[in-house]
Amino acid sequence: MPTAALLTVVGRANRLIDVLARGMNRCAGWMFVLCAFFITFDVLARKFLGFSSQSTTELSGYFLGVGIAWGLAGALEARTHVRIDILIQKVPPKYRGYLHWVALALLAVFAGFLVYGAWHTTMESWDFKATDNSLLKTPLIIPQGLWLIGIGVFGVMAVLRVVEVTLLLPKGDIDAIEHLTGPRTYVEEAEEALEAIGSAQHLVEKGSDKPGQKPGAPA
């Protein structure tokens, strides 16, 4: 297959997994919301109603583990995973692409080890029919299976990214590469916080509590 066609295919696969990653990230976020309500309920019930699920510690731990795993791909898509970028910014664009490739490739290798480790652990729990020590005796295969799925998608995404960047490298398309993998700058991070406030501001104006207070548009 010629490179151009291959690039189109890989690009499509990447855009597809992007959608999946965003969906999974949203699930992860709502798991944390749910977790907050669950723990609150347990605390209040313990205090005022005299009972508790007695499994808060384990269950909210699973929420966290699975939440992290399901957020991994979304964070890669949004380029939230942190890189040290002081030196890479000073490298001329011609060579920068190769450094991005190295960074991504190492991430994919690390993800590979994580997938292997998660697979091994999950299979062990499956073989031994392992449960936790809480009152619910949760079979570990449930949280660990979900956890494995999250890490697995992250691993696949990392590999797909490596392939796409590999194909983009000969074209010298540094903008496309950095759009996929470039480290987020402090300015971008600040903009995200500003956007969040912007949405609050929008609601304020609609509620006409205090009109005319604009924090200023993102730079």
Token pair of 137 as six digits? 């005796």
Give the list of residues 6+ apart from residue 115 with CB closer than 8 angstroms, or none: 148, 151, 152, 155
152 binds another protein (CB under 8 A): no
Pick from 37, 48, 92, 170 the residue near another protein by CB under 8 A.
Answer: 37
Torsion of CA 173, 174, 175, 179, to 10 degrees: 110
48 binds another protein (CB under 8 A): no
Report in angstroms how near the CB of residue 201 gets to another protein at its nearest.
Answer: 7
Cα angle at 90 between 7 and 173, to 5 degrees?
A: 15
80 binds another protein (CB under 8 A): yes
Handedness of CA 91, 97, 98, 104 (dihedral sign): positive
Count of residues interacting with another protein (CB under 8 A): 87
172 binds another protein (CB under 8 A): no
Residues 188-207 that bind another protein (CB under 8 A): 189-194, 196-197, 199-201, 203-204, 207
133 binds another protein (CB under 8 A): no
- Residues 75, 29: contact at Cβ < 8 Å? no
137 binds another protein (CB under 8 A): no
